[in-house]
Structure 1
Amino acid sequence: MRGGAFACRDGLLPPPHHDSGWDTMHLRDLPHPDPGVPDVRTGGAFLRWLCRRQLGGQLKALAWGLVNIGAIAASPLPVGLAVQAVVDRDGGRLLLAGGLILALGALIAAGDTMLHRAAVTNWITAVARMQQLLARKTTELGSVMTRRVAAGEIVTVSTGDLEKIGWFVEALSRFAAAALVTIGVSVALAFYQPELGILVAVAVPVLALAVLPLLPPATRRADAQREKAGQATELASDTVAGLRVLRGIGGEELFLGRYRSASQEVRKAAVRSARMWALISALQVLLPGLLLIAVVSYGARLALDGTIAVGDLVTLYSAVTFLLFPLRRFEEIAQAYSFAKPSAKRTARVLAQHRPAGGRTEDQATTPTGALHDPVSGLTAPAGRLTAVVCGDPDAAGRLAERLGGHPPQAGEDAGDGAGLSVVLGGAPLDDLPRDTARRAVLVQDKDPMLLSGTLGELLDVPASGRVGATDALAAAQCGDVLTALAQASVDDSGDPMHTYITERGRSLSGGQRQRLALARSLVTDPEVLVLDEPTSAVDAHTEARIADGLRTIRSGRTTVVFTSSPLLLDRAEQVVFLQEGKAVATAGHRELLCSHPAYRAVVTRETDPEPALSTGQIEETA
C-alpha cells in the first residue's frame, strides 16, 4: 500500500491565504503545513487545483519520465546499428552499438527508479493533502457533517475515492512523458523512413483514440458499481451499529439478508464494469498488434526489394514495438481519469460543506458573553439562566440546535425568512467570530452523542475552562452506577473506573449510561453556552429528576439551553420557550404555560386533543 497508511495530523490549521502551485514536497515534509483552499466548484476544478498545488512534483516526475521513456525510445537505433554491423562485418560499429546499448540501459534503469519515486511521492502527497482537507472539514463541521452528507458517502470518499484520485495524480506525469516521446518518435520515423514512418505517425493517434467511444459506458458502469458499494457500506454500518437492538427484536437475519442482497448487487455491477475494461484492454492489445503485423509485412517487402537495409527494418520494427508501450500509458490515464472524475466530484461535494464562522472579526480573542438570540426562530436564552425549549417536531429541534452552535442551513435546506441571519451571542454574531472562539463560546450536544474508544479518563480529558472537575460533572450527570460498573470491569487491580476501557461508540454501555457520560463530558467542558438536545431521553424518571437538579446547580451562572418535552426538566427550568412551526410563540414558566397554552400542554402531556385549562391543583400533580 503506497500511501494509504499515512496518518493525517491536520485539522486545526487556519485557512491559508495563498495558493502556490510550485511546491515540491518530500515525504519528510508531511503533513503539509498548509493544505490550501481547494476549488470545489466541480470535480474537474478540484482535480486541476490539486495538480496545480504540486506542479513542482509533477514537473520533476515528467523530467525523469522523459529520461526513462526517451532512453527506451532511443534503444531501436543501437539495435539496428548492431544488426547492420553484423551484416556488414564491421566490428567497430558493433562495439559502438554495444556501448550505446549499455549507456541507454543505465539511463533506463536510473530513469525508471527515479520516475517511480517521484510519481509515488506525488500520489502520497496528494492523498495526504486530501486527508488533511477532509480532517479540517470534519473538525469544522463536527457531527453536522453526517447530517448533510450520507455516512456511506463519507466512507467512500475517505477511502476508495482518495485512492482513485491519487492514482490519476500519479499516472499524469507518466502519461505526459509517454505522449511527448511518442510524438517525437512518430516525427522521427516520418523523416527516417517516409514510406513506413508516415503510416506509423497516422496510425498511432488512431490507435490511441480508438477506445474513446468505450470510455463513457465504462465510466457509467464504474459509477454504478461505486454507488452500490457505498449503499452496501452504509447498510453494513447501520446494521452493525444497531445489532444489539436487532438481536433484541429478532431482526438481525432480516437485515443480514438485505446486506447479502446488496453485496450481490455490488458483485454483479463489478463484473459488468470489469467486462468493459477487459474489452478496452483487449483492443489495446489487438489494434497495435495489427499495426505491427502491417509494418513488418510492408517493411519485409521493402527489404527484399533493396529499398531499405536490414538494419533499418530492425530499427523500424523496434520503434513500432516501442510505441506499444506508450499506448499502455494512454489506456492507464484514460482509466484513471474515468475513475478519478466522479471521485473528485464526490470529494468536492463533501469539501464544499461549510460553516461560515471562519472569522470575519479576526481580533475577537475573548469569548463573548451575554444572551443567546436566534433571529430566525425568535428564541432568546438569557445569560446565566437555564432555558428549556419545547418543540413538537424533533427534526426542527435538531436543526435549531445546530443553528445555535453556529451551523447555518446549507444551500437547498429550508432556512425560512431568516436565511443568511446569524445567531447572536452577547451582541456578537457567531458567523463573525473565529471558529475556535465560537466553539469555546457555544457547545452543542446532540441527541445521539458519540463516545470514542478509550478509558473514562481519556473520555473526560477535553478542552475545558477548569471550573468544573470530572468528579463534579459525573455526580451532576448521575453517573454513580456507571462508575461502579466500570470499576468492576477494570483490568488493573486499582479498581479505578477512570482506567477502565470504553469500547467504540460506548457499545459496552447501555443507552442511558452512554447518555449520562456524554452529558458529564459536556459539563466538564463548561462552555459559556451549553446546548443540550434531549439529554435525558434514555433514563428513568427518578434519575432524570436528579439530573435536572444537578444540571441547574452545576451550570449556575452559565447559559444553558435544553431541548426537551420532559415535565421534570421543564419544571426546573428558569424559563420555557415554546416553538410552533419553527417560531417562538410563548415564553414563560412551565406551570404557567401548562395553564395558559393548550398547544404547549398537548405537546408536553402527549394529549391528542386540546382540553380546558387545568386548575392549579392539576398543574401541581402534572408537574
Structure 2
Amino acid sequence: MQIRDLPYPDPGVPDARSGPRFLLWLGRNQLGGQLRSLAWGLLHFGSIAGLPYMVGVAVEAVLDRSGGRLALAGALIVLLGIAIALGDTMLHRTAVTNWITAAARVQQLLARKTAALGSALTRRVAAGEVVAVSTGDVEKIGWFVEALSRFAAAALTVVLVCVGLLVYQPALGVIVALGIPVLALAVLPLLPRATRRADHQREKAGRATELASDTVAGLRVLRGIGGEELFLDRYRTASQEVRTAAVRSARMWAVISAIQVLMPGLLLIAVVWQGVHLAREGRVTVGELVTVYSAIMILNYPLRHFEEIAMAYSFSRPSAKRAARVLSLQRTAESTVSRSRDGSERGEAMAPVMAQPPADDSLPPTGDLYDPATGLLAPAGRLTAVVCGDPDEAGRLAERLGGHPAFDDAVDMPSVRLGDIPLDDLPLAIARTAVLVQDKDPVLLSGTLRELLDVPASGAVNPEEALDAAQCSDVLDALTQASAGDDPMTAHLTERGRSLSGGQRQRLALARSLVTDPEALVLDEPTSAVDSHTEARIADGIRHLREGRTTVVLTSSPLLLDRAERVVFLADGEVAAVGAHRELVHTEPRYRAVVTRETDAERVVDRDTDFLTELDIEETA
C-alpha cells in the first residue's frame, strides 16, 4: 500500500480486544511495508556499522605504508557512504509511508464506526475522548507502527556488530558483547513508571479536550448566564494539570535519555582501558583498537532506537487502548429478549400490519413502523405524533426508531421493525434509506445552501418544495442579503450555521430532511425554536408534503398535535393512550398535563370546578 493508493478499499475488521492486540493487528496488516522498511534499515545501519572496520583498515594501511590498501579502504568508505545515504533516504520514505498508512487505516476504521453508531456513540464515549482518539491518538499509533521496523533493523545491526567484534577481536569483543545487553536493558526498570506517567498525562489531556469541547459547544448559553469566567477557570486548572503531568513525564524520559548516554560512555571507558593494556602487551594492534573504539561510538546511534521504541510504545499503548475501546462498540446488541408490555392501544392491535419484504434487496422495506419495546405503532402513510411524559424518553425513542438503540437499553430492547423486517437485520445503507431521524439539535455543515440540500434522496421532493414546506422564505431572504446575490442557493452557510438564528437553522435542517423523502421520517421536536404562527404553517406543510408517507413527530406542541392524523401518548416507557389530540386532552389527564404544562394545583382546581359544575347541574334538575 502506497500513500497514493489511500484510502483503503476495505480497512478490515480490527482486533479491538485490547490496545496491544490492536497494535499487533495493525502491524500484521502492514507486513509488506514493514519488511521493506526493515530491508532499507539493515542497509542503512549495516553500512554505518561497516565504517569502523574500514577506518581500522585505513589506519593499518597508513602504519604499514600500504597505498593500495589505503586506496581500497577509501573506496569502500565512499561506497558505504553512498549506501548510508540511499538506505537512510529509503528508510525514511518507507517508514513515513507506514506511519501515514497506519494512521489512515485507523481513521477509516474510526469514521466507519462513528457512522455506524451515530449519536449513540457519545452515550458511551465522551465527545472529547472521540476527538482525542481521532487526532492525537491516531498520530501516536502511527508513530509506533513506523518506529517498529526501524527498531528491528537497529536491533539486528547491534547483534551483528557484537558477533563481528567477537570474531574480529575476541579479547575486546567479549566486553562489548556483555556490555551491549546491559545498555539495552538498563532502562527497563524505569519504563513502567514512565508509562504510568505518560498514561496520566494522556488522561489529563483528554479531560482538558473534553472540557474545551463542552465549553465551545455551550458558549452561547454560557454568555447568556455569565458563566464564561467560571468555565475558563476550570479550563485553566485542567490545562495546568496537563502541564504538570507533561513535565513529570518529560523528567522521566530525560532520565532514560541520560542513562542511554551514560552507559555507552562507561562501556567505552572500559573498552579503552582494557584495549590500552592489550596494546601494551602487543595482543591488539592500533587499527584493531581504533576499530573497536569506533564501533562502540557508532553503536550509540542504533541503540537510540531502543529508547525510541520504548517511548513510542508507552505513548501509543494508551492511545491504542482508547481506539480499541471505540472500535469495539457495537451498533446493536443481538438479543431475542424483549420486554413484556401489557395493555393495548385503545382497542387497536399491538402488532403492526406486516408487509412483504421487497423483491430487490437494494430497496428499503415498506410497512408500519413498530417499536416492540414501547408498543408504539406508526401506521404506514400516516402522520403520527408522539407525546412522551419523560422528555429524555423522546430522544431515546427517536434513536430506537432510527435503528440506534441506546447502549444502556440495547441488551433487552428488541429491534424496531419496518413492516416485518427488523431494522437490525438490514444493511446499514438500506436502514438509513428506510428510516431517517432528525435530531432535536441537527447540525448544519458549512457550504452553500445548494450543497446543504444536495443529499441522497428519492427525487420525489425538490428543494424548493421542501424549503416552502419548512417556511424558509425569510431564511432565503437573509441569505440573499448576506451574499449580495440574486440566488440564495449559492449563499454560503458558516460552520454549523452560526450566522443564522436557532429557528432558521432548525427550519433549514427540516427542509433537508424533507428533501431526502425517506420511507419513514422521524422528527424530534422539529419546531421547538420557531414562533406559533410559523409552527402552524410548518405543520400544514409537513402534512401536505409527506402525504402518503410514514411520518413520526415527537413533540408536545398543541399546534403540531392538532394537525396529526394520530396521536400516541407514552407514559413510563409504554403506550398509555392513542387517539386525536382534542380527544386525549379531555380524556387523559396525564396527556393534558404534558401538553398544556398544567401544574398539580391547576389540576386540583379544574377537578373541583368540574365537580361543582356537576352539582349545579344536579340541583337544577
In the alignment, what sits opposite 1:240? Answer: 216
Correspondences of 1:278-293 after superposition (within 5 Å): 278-293=254-269
Residue 539 (structure 2) pairs with residue 563 (structure 1): no
Please tell me the root mean square deviation across aligned C-alpha atoms, in Å: 2.2
In the alignment, what sits opposite 1:272? Answer: 248
- Report the secondary structure of 2:367's partner residue: coil
- Report the secondary structure of 2:471's partner residue: coil
Any conservation in 2 of the 1:357–1:406 contact (CA below 8 Å)?
Answer: no
Choose the corresponding residue for 2:421, options 425, 428, 447. 428
Any conservation in 1 of the 2:120–2:405 contact (CA below 8 Å)?
Answer: no
In the alignment, what sits opposite 2:515? Answer: 524
Query: Aligned partners of 1:118, 1:491: CA distance in 2, in Å?
Result: 51
- Report the secondary structure of 1:289's partner residue: helix
Choose the corresponding residue for 1:378, options 375, 379, 382. 375
Unaligned runs of 5+ in 1: 1-24, 619-623
Residue 127 (structure 2) pairs with residue 127 (structure 1): no
Query: Aligned partners of 1:584, 1:181: CA distance in 2, in Å?
Result: 72
Any conservation in 1 of the 2:378–2:550 contact (CA below 8 Å)?
Answer: yes
Give deviations 1:154-192, integer Å, cap 9, x for gaps: 111111111111111111111001111111211222233
Choose the corresponding residue for 1:590, options 581, 589, 605. 581
Choose the corresponding residue for 1:414, options 397, 409, 412. 409
Cα deviation for residue 235 of structure 1 reads: 2.2
Q: How many residues align?
A: 585
In the alignment, what sits opposite 2:353? Answer: none
Any conservation in 2 of the 1:357–1:435 contact (CA below 8 Å)?
Answer: no
Cα deviation for residue 242 of structure 1 reads: 2.8
In the alignment, what sits opposite 1:87? Answer: 63
In the alignment, what sits opposite 1:548? Answer: 539
Q: Percent identity?
A: 72
In the alignment, what sits opposite 2:391? Answer: 394
Query: Aligned partners of 2:380, 2:278: CA distance in 1, in Å?
Result: 96
In the alignment, what sits opposite 2:457? Answer: 464
Give deviations 1:449-488, integer Å, cap 9, x for gaps: 0000111121111111111121221121121221221121
- Report the secondary structure of 1:219's partner residue: helix
Any conservation in 1 of the 2:118–2:404 contact (CA below 8 Å)?
Answer: no
Give deviations 1:300-349, integer Å, cap 9, x for gaps: 11111212111111111112112212210000000001111111111112
Cα deviation for residue 600 of structure 1 reads: 2.1
- Report the secondary structure of 1:599's partner residue: helix
Residue 206 (structure 2) pairs with residue 230 (structure 1): yes
- Report the secondary structure of 1:443's partner residue: strand
Using the TM superposition, name which of 187-196 and 324-333 deviates more.
Answer: 187-196
Give deviations 1:87-144, integer Å, cap 9, x for gaps: 2222222222222212211211111111111111111111121222222223323333
Query: Aligned partners of 1:361, 1:368: CA distance in 2, in Å?
Result: 6
Choose the corresponding residue for 1:146, options 111, 122, 129. 122
Query: Aligned partners of 1:256, 1:491: CA distance in 2, in Å?
Result: 38
- Report the secondary structure of 1:369's partner residue: coil
Using the TM superposition, name which of 376-385 and 91-100 deviates more.
Answer: 91-100
In the alignment, what sits opposite 1:329? Answer: 305
Query: Aligned partners of 1:354, 1:500: CA distance in 2, in Å?
Result: 39
- Report the secondary structure of 1:584's partner residue: strand
In the alignment, what sits opposite 1:9? Answer: none
* Pair 305,491 (structure 1): closer, same or farther in 2 beyond 3 Å: farther
In the alignment, what sits opposite 1:31? Answer: 7
In the alignment, what sits opposite 1:602? Answer: 593
* Pair 594,483 (structure 1): closer, same or farther in 2 beyond 3 Å: same
Output the amino acid matched with 1:381.
Answer: A
Choose the corresponding residue for 2:112, options 107, 114, 136. 136
Residue 569 (structure 2) pairs with residue 578 (structure 1): yes
Cα deviation for residue 363 of structure 1 reads: 6.4
Query: Aligned partners of 1:314, 1:549: CA distance in 2, in Å?
Result: 93
In the alignment, what sits opposite 2:152? Answer: 176
Using the TM superposition, name which of 132-141 and 323-332 deviates more.
Answer: 132-141
Using the TM superposition, name which of 592-601 and 284-293 deviates more.
Answer: 592-601
Choose the corresponding residue for 2:321, options 337, 341, 345. 345
Query: Aligned partners of 1:414, 1:61: CA distance in 2, in Å?
Result: 47
Any conservation in 2 of the 1:387–1:573 contact (CA below 8 Å)?
Answer: yes
Output the amino acid matched with 2:577.
Answer: A
Using the TM superposition, name which of 164-173 and 543-552 deviates more.
Answer: 543-552
In the alignment, what sits opposite 2:439? Answer: 446
Any conservation in 2 of the 1:386–1:574 contact (CA below 8 Å)?
Answer: yes
In the alignment, what sits opposite 2:476? Answer: 483
Cα deviation for residue 244 of structure 1 reads: 2.9
Output the amino acid matched with 1:544.
Answer: E
Any conservation in 2 of the 1:357–1:438 contact (CA below 8 Å)?
Answer: no
Any conservation in 1 of the 2:128–2:209 contact (CA below 8 Å)?
Answer: yes
* Pair 206,467 (structure 1): closer, same or farther in 2 beyond 3 Å: same
